[in-house]
Structure 1
Amino acid sequence: MAGALVGGSFLSAFLQVLFDRMASREFVDFFKGQKLNDELLMKLKITMRSINRLLDDAEEKQITNRDVQMWLDDLKDAVYEADDLLDEIAYEGLRSEIEPAPQTNNIAMWRNFLSSRSPFNKRIVKMKEKLNKILGRLNDLVEQKDVLGLGENIGEKPSLHKTPTTSLVDESGVFGRNNDQKAIVKMLLSDDAHGRSLGVIPIVGMCGVGKTTLSQLVYNNSRVQEWFDLKTWVCVSEEFGVCKITKDIIKEFGSKYCDTKTQNQLHLELKEKLMGKRFLLVLDDVWNAKYDDWDILLTPLKFGAQGSKIIVTTQNERVASVLSTVPPYHLKGLTDDDCWCLFEKHAFDDGDSSAHPGLEGIGRKIVRKCKGLPLAVKSLAGLLRSKRDVEEWEKILRSNLWDLQNINILPALRLSYHYLPAHLKRCFSYCSIFPKDYEFRKEEMVRLWMAEGFLIQLNGNQKMKEVGGEYFNDLVSRSFFQQSSSHPSCFVMHDLMNGLAKFVAGEFCYTLDDANGLKLAKKTRHLSYVRAKHGNLKKFEGTYETQFLRTFLLVEQSWELDHNESEAMHDLLPTLKRLRVLSLSQYSYVQELPDSIGNLKHLRYLNLFQASLKNLPRIIHAMYNLQTLILRECNDLVELPDSIGNLKHLQYLDLFGTSIRKLPNFVIGLCHLETLILCQCKDLTELPTNMGSLINLHHLDIRETNLQEMPLQMGNLKYLRIL
Structure 2
Amino acid sequence: MDYLISTVEKVSGYAFELIRRQASYLIFYKRNFDTLETNVEGLKNERERILHLIDEERRNGKLIERDVENWLEKVNEVIERANKLQNDPRRANVRCFTNLILRHKLSRNATKIDKDVQAQEKGKFDRVGYRPPLDDDIAATSSSTEDCENYETRKSLKNDIVKALGDLSSCNIGVYGLGGVGKTTLVEELIKLIANQHKLFHKVVITHVSKNPDIKTIQGEIADLLGLQFNEETILGRAHRLRQRIKMEKSILVILDDIWTVLDLKKVGIPFGNEHNGCKLLMTCRNQDVLLQMDVPKDFTFKIELMSENETWSLFQLEVGDVIKDRNLKDTAYQIAQKCEGLPLMVVTVARAMRNKRDVQSWEYALTKLQSNDDNNEMKGVTSALELSYESLESDEMRDLFLLFALLLGNDAKYFLQLAKGLGMLKHSNTMADARNKLYTIIKSLEATCLLEVKTGGKIQMHDFVRDFATSKARRDKHVFIRKQSNDDWATKDFLKKCTQMVVDTIPTDMFPQTFDCPNIKFFCLTCLNRSLEVPDNFFERMGSLTVLDLTSLNFSSLPISFWFLTNLQTLCLDFCILENMDAIEGLKNLQILRIRKSSMIKLPSAIGKLTQLRMLDLSDSGIEVFPSNILSSLTKLEELYMGNTSINWEDVNSMVNNEKVSIVELQKLPNLTSLELQIRETCMLPRNLRLMFEKLKHFKIAIGDVWEWADIKDETLKTLMLKLDTNIHLQYEIKALIKGVENLYLDDVDGIQNLLYNLSADGFPLLKHLLVQNNANMKHIVNSKERN
Same fold by TM (over 0.5)? Answer: no
Please classify the TM superposition score into its range, dividing by the shorter chain length: 0.3 to 0.5
Greater strand share, 1 or 2?
Answer: 2
Larger relative contact order (Cα-Cα within 8 Å, sequence gap ≥ 6) = 1
| Structure with max Cα Rg | 2
> Normalising by structure 2, what TM-score?
0.38
